[in-house]
Amino acid sequence: MSNQPTQLIVALDFDSLDEATRLVDAAGASVLWYKVGKQLFTRYGPDALRPLKKAGKKVFLDLKFHDIPNTVRQAVRSALDIGADMVNVHAGGGLAMMAAAAEARRPDSLVIAVTVLTSMDQQALSQVGVQSSLSDQVERLARLARQAGLDGVVASGHEITMIRAACGPDFVQVIPGIRLASGSADDQKRIMTPGAAAEAGAQFIVVGRPVTRADDPAAAASEIVRQLECGGS
């Protein structure tokens, strides 16, 4: 995996499936992977994946499961049954929960973990009783995810090098918070360009608004892919 080019995942953060489908049509062949999250899935359930699968796309179902091991194992199995190609769980659910998720994995699927939500800072971590530093906690949970047999983690761009050193180059890293150097940061605080994420060794980047709100989504996606391939910014 480490020598493969970094792949683009476009986040379908929409209320309406019609809007999501229009974006997928507009982006065309420039995008293979899409992320369906809680916003769309809570309204439409498995129907949210159908137009994507019909168009031959790959789906990252971002539902961040966190429950007892047996429930998470069955939830991952259900997610793969309805067509998800990538599924995630919260690493905070522990080793046994992540191992149960890994058991449900199939040969062509990826099951990954979220370490510490990027919306949490040091104070938020200590409020929930975590005394270690944020980066130590991210590293601890990434190592635990690897030990549990998961394929990788969702991480901030600024954690790629540290996680790669701790878990190796084949441990998949999926990186949100990506912005083109010329674009707006929106509400993202710690952003990285596609080229920098690729350079650092990310296997996937997740991009929402820079593509979904672009006047020409296909052109925006193609520019991101170009930057992933040549490390431009």
Q: How far apart are CA 221 and CA 27, in angstroms?
A: 7
Q: How far apart are CA 158 and CA 193, in angstroms?
A: 11
Q: Is 122 within 8 Å of 133 (Cβ atoms)?
A: yes
Residues 6+ apart with CB under 8 A from 14: 20, 23, 39, 40, 212
Q: Which is nearer to ligand C5P, 73 or 208 (CB)?
A: 208
SS3 label, residue 60:
strand
Residues 6+ apart with CB under 8 A from 39: 13, 14, 15
86 touches ligand C5P (CB under 6 A): no
Our CA angle for 200, 176, 21, nearest 5°, is 130
Provide the greatest CA pair distance for the chain: 47
SS3 label, residue 90:
strand
Q: Which amino acid is at 184?
A: S
92 touches ligand C5P (CB under 6 A): no
177 touches ligand C5P (CB under 6 A): yes
Closest CA to 98 of 31, 143, 50, 53: 143
Considering only 71, 130, 209, 219, the residue that binds ligand C5P (CB under 6 A) is 209
Active site residue 64: yes
Active-site option among 35, 57, 64, 189: 64
Q: Which is nearer to ligand C5P, 23 or 73 (CB)?
A: 23
Considering only 144, 208, 214, 220, the residue that binds ligand C5P (CB under 6 A) is 208
| Nearest-CB residue for ligand C5P | 208
Distance of closest approach, residue 107 Cβ to ligand C5P, in angstroms? 26
Region of 14-22, 93-101, 125-133, 206-214 interacting with ligand C5P (CB under 6 A): 206-214
Considering only 52, 79, 153, 154, the residue that binds ligand C5P (CB under 6 A) is 154
176 touches ligand C5P (CB under 6 A): yes
Q: Which is nearer to ligand C5P, 83 or 177 (CB)?
A: 177
Chain residues in the site for ligand C5P (CB under 6 A): 11, 13, 37, 118, 154, 176-177, 186, 188, 206-209
Catalytic residue numbers, as ranges: 64
